[in-house]
Chains A and B, each alone.
Chain A
Amino acid sequence: MIKTGRYGTVKYDPTGSGTPPPVEIISLNAWKASFKTDYEDVTCFGDENKVYVPGMPDVSGSLGGFWNSDDLTLFEATKAATPGLLELAPNSTEALFKWSGLAYLDADVDASAKGAPKLTSTFKAAGPWTMSTGTLLNAPLAQRR
């Protein structure tokens, strides 16, 4: 069903193990993830249209919100030598619907005299990502090809 994005969550575990479970990063209000797959053009003589075969799926995206000096998780993550476990949920009231996986993160702060300083971050997969619900989707993305 369609749910509001107001109760989205972004959680992170710097150890990457998931134990203890990832902790919510506060003061965020946006996330975006892309699971696009590269396609190889394999069109041959005589084909009536272009033909493609899928390559590897990408997992990357961005986070957004406000700078909050009480939570420096993203900035600590930018300096981490090993990837942490990132967990993204569109709506926390549907606890089973979320994506998670190891990721490297970076962070940007955009401060101006008007409004609260804004925080943005991008992430890139550092291991297989999963969606936590559905038989098909439970498999790592790379194994579904």
Chain B
Amino acid sequence: MITIPNSSEIDNAVIGALLADATLLALLPDGVYWDVAAPKAKRFVIVSLVTADDEPVFGSRGYEDVLYLVKAVVLMSTGNDVKTAAHRIDQLLEDQPLTIPGYTHMVTCREARIRYTEVDEVDDTIRWQHRGGHYRVQASIPGV
């Protein structure tokens, strides 16, 4: 009987790869967040789940196919370089190996680029820049 690993380990591996990079944290010093940043954060990375598909084989899950939104979010008045930050995210993820407990990493690659400007909901003189991409991660379960 195959032991099915914890799917959240894939999420953790993506976040871990971003958190471990001093260059990225220097560009976005408020940190890396899942879905929603901490209050008052102005320069940060957001990681969200877009889709998560399981590819079956007989008797088990064969591999997991997960699409993440990974983007740099910067308050424009901070002057932080969102362009460089998004590029650093890409360098850390595109075709880079991930160590995922219980899985064999198959691939990480960007499928689409993201870039837009958001007007703050509370103060319309404030602008937020969002830049990053949709990254697909595939990880197989050994032995199936």
Contacts and interface: CB of A to CB of B under 8 A. Distances in A.
A65 interface: yes
* Interface size classification for chain B: 10 to 19
Interface stretch (A1-9, A43-51, A95-103): A1-9
A116 B140 contact: yes
Q: Which of B55, B58, B138, B143 has the most CB of A within 10 A?
A: B58
B57 A116 contact: no
B92 interface: no
B56 A26 contact: no
A26 B58 CA distance: 8
Main secondary structure of the interface of B (DSSP, over half): strand
A141 B57 CA distance: 29
Interface in B26-59: 55-59
B106 to A, nearest CB: 7
Interface residues of A, number: 15
A56 to B, nearest CB: 30
B144 A26 contact: yes
A94 to B, nearest CB: 14
B57 A7 contact: no
Contacts of B63: 66, 116
Interface in A17-66: 26-29, 65-66
Given A115-B65, A116-B106, A6 B59 contact: yes
Given A26-B144, A116-B106, A116-B140, A6 B58 contact: yes
Interface string B131-143: 0000000101001
Contacts of A9: 58-59
A65 B144 CA distance: 11
Interface in B91-144: 106, 138, 140, 143-144
Interface of A: 6-10, 26-29, 65-66, 70, 92, 115-116
What are the 5 A-B residue pairs with the smallest beta carbon separation, nearest first?
A29-B57, A8-B58, A27-B57, A7-B59, A29-B56
Given A65-B57, A66-B57, A116-B55, 19 more contacts: A6-B58, A6-B59, A7-B59, A8-B58, A9-B58, A9-B59, A27-B57, A27-B62, A27-B144, A28-B57, A66-B55, A66-B62, A66-B63, A70-B143, A115-B55, A115-B138, A116-B62, A116-B63, A116-B106
